[in-house]
Amino acid sequence: MALDQASREAYEEIVRKNPAEPEFHQAVFEVLEAIRPALQRDPDLRDAAMLERLCEPERQVMFRVVWTDDAGAVHVNRGFRVGFSSALGPYKGGLRFRGDVTLGTVKFLAFEQIFKNALTGLGIGAGKGGSDFDPAGRSDAEIMRFCQAFMTELVRHIGPETDVPAGDIGVGGREIGYLFGQYKRLTNRYDAGTITGKNPVLGGIPARPEATGYGTVYFLEAMLGTRDDSFSGRTAVVSGSGNVAYHAIAKLKELGAKPVACSDSGGYVHDPRGIDLDLLHDLKVARRGRLAEYVDHVPSAKYVADGTPWDVPCDLALPCATQNELDEQSALRLVKNNVRAVAEGANMPCTPGSLQIFREAGVAVGPGKAANAGGVAVSALEMQQNAARERWTFERTDRTLRDIMTDIHRTCLETADEHGVAGDYVSGANIAGFRKVVAAMDVCGYI
């Protein structure tokens, strides 16, 4: 599927106005391509420059972050926050701390968030933020000072009814705690709903750390169900070994699948017996170590430096690490090994070429803006909990999460069928999110 002339012209103008931002260009192209059936069916969706307005952020903020390390040396980083769409509610989306973060990275993530957040049905807009600060190898004290400096600048742009950040790569419970503490200090307010992903003692919701990984597996379970398939006896490969990947592996095991491989930035480990969850937790969560150490404890496992887990034969593939991690060659290997389904636990982890290969091979693909929406969905539930001064249980949150992911799956499938692309989850997710946001933009007038 390609772009029609009007969408092509809109895309070319977006590229011209946003040079040197290839990830953002890729995300926009994917959406414009995926929603083509909706535009053909209802040409009025193009009225009032709707495509152009949708692809232009409402605001973009970039600021300097100055902090000192444990030796007293001064460092300067860049901070970013992009509010892309508030059509459905306050801006909502995580903060990413990693050395390769740029404005273009944040913009692409915020754009993806528009459709993901719309699919949850929970009344949240779309935003994203972060910094080119890399927390790896930094002490707790250094990370605390950086987070405090970052929040000192960010504080003027956020609030429970304006913009609600959360965590992402490099920003977990520790960082969220430091950020929220500085927010309270600067504002003299306990606005618990300003930041989500908090520790439960600060008003965080149970099951938030698990939500993205669990939600991806719940979506995959629904995908398999449409094919009269299940997790029973199926092998799975998961990229990454951080929060999302760890909890996806845990839920896969709980539901009867056997995850046999996972990865980190150094390589991947293959354990034919099934990934040892306790060991993985100790290595990657408790000690923030390297996956290469896994084989020191499990000699029968194999560690491959600089390799890709997609070389391991599997029935189910869950890319849960980062964008564009699963390329065309990897897709061809997975198809050759008879992969049945792919569920994106990360944001845009499959390249356009790999998606085309899966489509041609008849492999079901759950796109990130649907399959990994569980994280932001539970963040929105945390906002509800904070606003009501309630305390949810883990069971209540997990049950609601599963219902939300099942509903998102149904919406994607029904929308795809309605627009003549039956079974195409990528088109279904994009069209459903697009129509919901455009409807809200339309009733607000030309803003």
- The phi, psi pair for 131, rounded to 5°, reads -155, 160
Question: Which of the following is catalytic: 92, 128, 369, 436?
Answer: 128
Nearest to 420 by CA among 105, 70, 115, 42: 42
- Find how far residue 418's CA is from the centre of its chain: 26
Residue 128 bears catalytic tag: yes
Residue 127 amino acid letter: G
Strand partners, 92: 164
CA distance 418 to 414: 6
Name the residue among 16, 95, 27, 148 with its Cα closest to residue 375: 95
The DSSP bridge partners found for residue 166 are 94
Total residues found in the chain within this entry: 447
Structure tokens at 100: 């390769």
H, E, C per residue of 1-16: CCCCHHHHHHHHHHHH
Question: Do 358 and 333 contact (CB within 8 A), yes or no?
Answer: no
SS3 98: coil
126 closest CA partner among 170, 158, 162, 90: 90
**Under a CB-based contact definition with an 8 Å cutoff, are residues 24 and 18 in contact?**
yes
Q: Tokens 């896969």 correspond to what residue? A: 252
Distance CA 341, CA 363 (A): 5
| Neighbour-count burial of 176, counting CB atoms closer than 10 A to its CB (0-12 exposed, 13-18 middle, 19+ buried) | buried
Which residues form the catalytic set?
A: 128
